[in-house]
Amino acid sequence: MAYKSFEEYNMKVTDDVKTRYKNIIEDLGEDTTRDGLIKTPERAAKAMQFLTQGYDQDPVEILTAAMFKESYNEMVIVKDIELYSLCEHHILPFFGKVHIAYIPNGYIVGLSKLPRIVDVFARRLQVQERLTEQILDCINDTLKPQGVAVVIEASHMCMMMRGVQKQNSITTTSGFRGQFEKIETRNEFLKLIGK
């Protein structure tokens, strides 16, 4: 049985982006008719659509679909959420981990929804600082918890492969709302995620 892909793409967008990738590859001096490159423009067009699919997704809808009334009012932490995104300055990847905590205020959310909203915002052209705020604000505005905390640790290929070429650098961003603005709550969270 032949391999069959089940991914769906907008074929008009795929064709337009494919043509642009073909032109870029040729402008760089490559032969797009050689074996290894024949299907590269189409693969790259589909990859770019996949990596930016967050523009077509609603993170608020994702959270509200799994909100449950609950009296629990202690810290909930989901840590080490894998992160893959594209830097908007060079369209190169950055990747790392996201740590999220919130203190419920009458509602909890299905735990899988927190990584899902990370993906929604990460699958856009991004900067790490904005990504941190978008995740933080989405949770805060939707769940209306007593507090929210987000820490992102990421390596940026734009710093590793080009520019300063520093392979071991990690960029950390953080944001805190509500109860996490209090130093004791913030310190508890940071201790629990190993920071």
Q: Which of 149, 98, 155 is nearest to 121 (CA)?
A: 98
**Which of 49, 126, 128, 134 is flagged as catalytic?**
128
In terms of Cα–Cα distance, which of 173, 174, 141, 146 is closest to 59?
141
Active-site hit among 61, 82, 88, 181: 88
Catalytic-role residue among 61, 70, 82, 89: 89
- Residue 99 annotated to the active site: no
Any catalytic annotation for residue 26? no
Catalytic residue selected from 87, 99, 126, 146: 87
Please tell me which residue in 26, 30, 42, 90 is annotated as part of the active site.
90
Q: What is the residue whose two structure tokens read 């590859």?
A: 25
Instruction: Based on the residue annotation, tell me whether 90 is a catalytic residue of this protein.
Output: yes
Is 90 marked as binding a ligand?
yes
180 with 151: CB under 8 angstroms? no
**Conformation bin of residue 39: beta by default, left when phi > 0, alpha when psi is -120 to 50:** alpha
138 is catalytic: no
Binding residues: 87, 90, 158
Catalytic positions, written as ranges = 87-90, 128, 156, 158
Q: Which residues are annotated as a binding site for Zn(2+)?
A: 87, 90, 158
